[in-house]
Chain A
């Protein structure tokens, strides 16, 4: 790779402008401007169609008003649980699967990889409905399988119960997306040079020791990347909840995430009109949460871990 780009011309190069303009214009107009304008709106109120500067009053309302406070903190809490379940189930399982299929002795790895990745290319709408059908007591598939495993009595309509709906939805999401950490981790596992592994094997290390002592430290940067991607994706989730539980994220808001709260606030619901400026405020809080996550990752994690040049 060459690191010094050429300088073909001295005068202002018009062709560079031509190359960059379309991307920069569309990106700025439809992404950067809306993000900034949305942040601006969170400091305004709309009264009779007029925007009035409101300082931090929207934020104050969201965090302290008895109508907003429980919804906001509820969504933050649910979203954190949603994220923790992904970190505890999806990513370790993804790592285990990647470790298994990256073993030299395993045949058919291409097929396994394709199968595990398959659910993640489907839309939330499909995945949500598929699982709703499978877990529906009406069809009895879930109950039937539990019965086959002699666990029939433990079956419950999990998606409809306040205590289990969020965990069930998190696991459905894990089912769908496990292929992504698997693929990323697999790609970095097979990038490790064979000589390194062989040398350790000659020294008498077994597979377990080789994995945790050599492979894992090498792929640690990818592990961190998987973590931050999960974080951003989870705190932006909406479709799965909207499809299975509706915008009200029932039962009794037990599956309400930041995304569904944002949607309801912006567009309203049965008894409440939509409120764009409060919607922008919820979005700004999501922005803040994601930003904190990304900064923690960049400065708390990326700077501290060692990257091995192979």
Chain B
């Protein structure tokens, strides 16, 4: 009697947390799902049956066709891809190199340099925009992807160096010492250590990649020409012009969301594990 009462109680208390959690899941996902399903419908169905999945009669690619006829979305994707890939590559490479030096060598000014590089974690780079624009103009880089890449590298480095330094410090000493005894150069030792901090690199990659892909501010200011538009800026401009074309609006939103969502689904498990791993050290 007493036992089964206890069991019931436990079952009820096991269900209880799911009520708010499911409710919140609905709130988090509903807007996204709504946009995606309606982007595959014809105009009438968008308004008549917004909550239903597209059916054979209501299915339509019209919005996507408009999109590719009227805007250079292929180009925007290519631009975003180049900017994100190049920035990430240099953020991770230069960040890992600097973190290695800060973690490995006791040179005069090490703590001060670490602090100098960490200031950028708290101070948003946007506040220097007036001078960044002047600098970019004077270097002849206005309306180029290079300008965006340079700014994003600078933006991504502080956090990357800060996190990687912590991880580099915990790399096993024996490995480095053994390599040094064998006469390996310091550069060689760096490349031995890099694979050991791979999980940290993955986390840093996601954390710096998402804001770069999503940024509107710098593309708007440094590279707003048709040839250098990123997906985020392209979508923003396109949406401004096609407000009345619901098919096109919904399709462009879906198209801008989907690549990020796919990446997220691929990496989320890893990402979440790495965030939580940091605390269970």
Q: Quick check: is A197 within 8 A (CB to CB) of the other chain?
A: no
Given A105-B13, A122-B214, A122-B260, A276–B105 Cβ distance below 8 Å? Answer: no
Please list 23 pairs of residues, one from A and one from B, whose beta carbons are closer than 8 Å in the complex, sorted by A's number.
A2-B173, A6-B176, A15-B187, A16-B107, A20-B97, A24-B113, A103-B17, A115-B28, A118-B32, A119-B32, A121-B260, A123-B215, A123-B235, A123-B256, A125-B236, A126-B253, A131-B31, A175-B27, A187-B275, A187-B278, A190-B280, A238-B126, A242-B216
Q: Which residues of A contact B129 (CB under 8 A)?
A: 34, 38, 262, 266, 279, 283
A203 vs chain B, min Cβ distance (A): 19
Query: For residue B11, which residue of chain A has the nearest CB?
Result: A105
| Inter-chain contact A106/B235, CB cutoff 8 Å | no
Chain B interface size band reads: 35 or more
Given A26-B157, A188-B279, A191-B280, A38–B130 Cβ distance below 8 Å? Answer: yes
Q: Quick check: is A195 within 8 A (CB to CB) of the other chain?
A: no
Given A191-B279, A294-B122, A129–B249 Cβ distance below 8 Å? Answer: yes
CA distance A179 to B151 in the complex (A): 27
| Inter-chain contact A290/B124, CB cutoff 8 Å | yes
Chain A interface size band reads: 35 or more
Contact with A along B138-182 (1 / 0, CB 8 A): 000000000000110111011001000000011001001000100
Given A243-B236, A266-B129, A125–B216 Cβ distance below 8 Å? Answer: yes
| Inter-chain contact B272/A23, CB cutoff 8 Å | no
Please give 20 more A-B residue pairs, beta carbons under 8 A apart, in addition to A5-B106, A106-B18, A141-B34: A1-B169, A5-B105, A13-B105, A15-B187, A30-B132, A34-B128, A34-B129, A37-B135, A103-B17, A112-B25, A115-B25, A121-B261, A126-B235, A134-B31, A175-B28, A191-B276, A238-B216, A242-B216, A280-B131, A283-B126
Q: Chain B binding site: helix, strand, loop or mixed by DSSP?
A: helix
Given A6-B106, A133-B249, A283-B128, A19–B135 Cβ distance below 8 Å? Answer: no
B183 vs chain A, min Cβ distance (A): 12
| Inter-chain contact A115/B20, CB cutoff 8 Å | no
CA distance A267 to B157 in the complex (A): 28
| Inter-chain contact B190/A124, CB cutoff 8 Å | no
Q: Which residues of A contact B200 (CB under 8 A)?
A: none
Q: Which residues of A contact B101 (CB under 8 A)?
A: 16, 19-20
Query: For residue A41, which residue of chain B has the nearest CB?
Result: B130
B189 vs chain A, min Cβ distance (A): 10
Residue of B131, B150, B173 with most chain A CB atoms under a 10 A cut-off: B131
Given A112-B21, A119-B32, A290-B122, A139–B50 Cβ distance below 8 Å? Answer: yes
A153 vs chain B, min Cβ distance (A): 21
| Inter-chain contact A8/B105, CB cutoff 8 Å | yes
